[in-house]
Amino acid sequence: MHARVRSLAAAAALYAASLLPAQAELDAIALKKAIETSIASDYPKLDALYRELHAHPELAFQEVKTAARLAAEMRALGFDVTENVGRTGLVAIYRNGDGPTIMVRTELDGLPMEEKTGLDYASRDKANWSGREVFVAHSCGHDIHMASWVGTAKTLLGLKERWRGTLMFIAQPAEEIVAGARAMLAAGLFTRFPKPDIALALHDGPFAHGTIFYRSGVGTSAADSLEITFHGRGGHGSAPHTAIDPIAIASRFVVDVQSVISREKDPTEFGVVTIGAIHGGTVGNIIPDSVQLSGTIRSYKPEVRAKLHAGIERTAKAAAAMSGAPAPDVSILEGTKPVINDPDVVAATAETLKAAFGDKFRVSPPGTASEDFSEFAGAGVPSMMFNIGVYDQQRIDAARNGGPPIPANHSPQFAPVPKPTIETGVTAMTLAVLSAFDQKARRKRD
Ligand SMILES: [Zn+2]
Ligand SMILES: [Zn+2]
């Protein structure tokens, strides 16, 4: 290159670098327009897909038809699709030259509950769940995620000249029982397929559509399950002195375990212990031999989690010892870790989404629910999950002013407004993926 041209080029590059934030904003706004144009022509198909998925949900690890439907959609777009990764999971790969691999995850599963939305595309389907016939409903909005996922894939292919690298779109089974992510990892998700440089996911929630919530660092809680059996000695209800009453022991435990939260845990740290089920005895005049309790334990920090586990175990043993009962069986099953949103990924993605969505893109406090998207970060992939709203603003305002309450995820009335919700899902996720490719390309240049 000629010296003068080189110095001009260097000056131009410096000028461009000094303009980078403004330039990024302009890009995000222009890209958002291009994405919206693309969605406008694709939406009727996405709407049909959404309604079909909504009307025919399937339970954890039973998502056979759902997975087949998504596989067909992705093959039609030109993705290389592998089915049955982690039982019903699927992996769709699209290569577009040299560059990073960006993963986008959707969930496949619905919930064992009856939908009561009254929508004309409401689910009336039933399935077998732990030996019982139950209704099935997409009351967590995983159908919104799937439609947005397909829409994002389609939109990104239309913008193929804007990015270089590999798209890795995965559809994960069994999120509701926090088992599907691990099943896919165990089936070689990051060994049979490229290990992604960045992983992204979205989740819908009960706030206004068009609004997006995000946060850096801890996004959801760690969830562990708790099973305790208190052993006593059965006997006649009229002669408690001849027996050891496990109902009294279990009752004491249910109350006392809350002092692990209120008296042992740092009050400024998040932690929950909920006993959700208690089973023991048959009739009023028999003291049973044993009582079973089931519960859930939620936390954000490993040290709080360890403290809760130890406190629960100690309280259970003490409750039994006080009554001269044998030691209880306490089993704490590790569920899933908190979702940790990678600060670098969030900072760069937030820059793009903030430019595109303005004050509709907002920081949220961490949620108390849990999510096995955390498993992918746990496997070493920097990741980010953000939330999109599903309801009309008027409905939110009415609820705030004493009107009917807003049904949240897992409510039988949970009913997203499909069009604006899916449009936001596709737009935000497409921009997040483009930003992820850009982050990696920039880091390589630095
Ligand atoms: Zn859910
Ligand atoms: Zn969910």
Write the pLDDT tens digit of every residue in 63-98. 999 999 999 999 999 999 999 999 999 999 999 999
For residue 409, report the distance from its CA to the centre of ligand 1, in Å: 6
pLDDT category of residue 19 using cuts at 50, 70 and 90: very low
pLDDT score of 444? 67
Write the pLDDT tens digit of every residue in 381-419. 999 999 999 999 999 999 999 999 999 999 999 999 999
pLDDT score of 441? 79
* Three-point CA angle 235, 240, 243, nearest 5°: 45
pLDDT score of 445? 63
For residue 140, report the distance from its CA to the centre of ligand 1, in Å: 4
Q: How far is it, in rounded angstroms, from Cα 250 to Cα 227? A: 12
pLDDT score of 65? 98
Its pTM stands at 0.86
pLDDT score of 295? 95
Write the pLDDT tens digit of every residue in 40-53. 999 999 999 999 99
Task: List the beta bridge partners of residue 127.
Answer: 134
For residue 67, report the distance from its CA to the centre of ligand 1, in Å: 18
For residue 336, report the distance from its CA to the centre of ligand 2, in Å: 14
Which of 226-235, 360-369, 387-396, 415-424 has the lowest average pLDDT? 360-369
For residue 339, report the distance from its CA to the centre of ligand 1, in Å: 15
For residue 175, report the distance from its CA to the centre of ligand 2, in Å: 7
Q: Which ligand is nearest to the CA of 176?
A: 1
Pick the residue with more confidence: 369 or 306?
306
373, 226 in Cβ contact below 8 A? no
As given in the structure block, the two tokens for residue 240 are: 């408690």
For residue 83, report the distance from its CA to the centre of ligand 2, in Å: 22
As given in the structure block, the two tokens for residue 97 are: 């030259």
pLDDT category of residue 440 using cuts at 50, 70 and 90: confident
| Residue of 16, 20, 17 lying closest to 355 (CA atoms) | 20
Neighbour count for residue 434 (Cβ, 10 Å):
22
For residue 176, report the distance from its CA to the centre of ligand 1, in Å: 5
pLDDT of 280 > 60? The answer is yes
Residue positions counted in the chain: 446
For residue 238, report the distance from its CA to the centre of ligand 1, in Å: 46
pLDDT category of residue 446 using cuts at 50, 70 and 90: low
Write the pLDDT tens digit of every residue in 104-163. 999 999 999 999 999 999 999 999 998 999 999 999 999 999 999 999 999 999 999 999
For residue 139, report the distance from its CA to the centre of ligand 2, in Å: 8
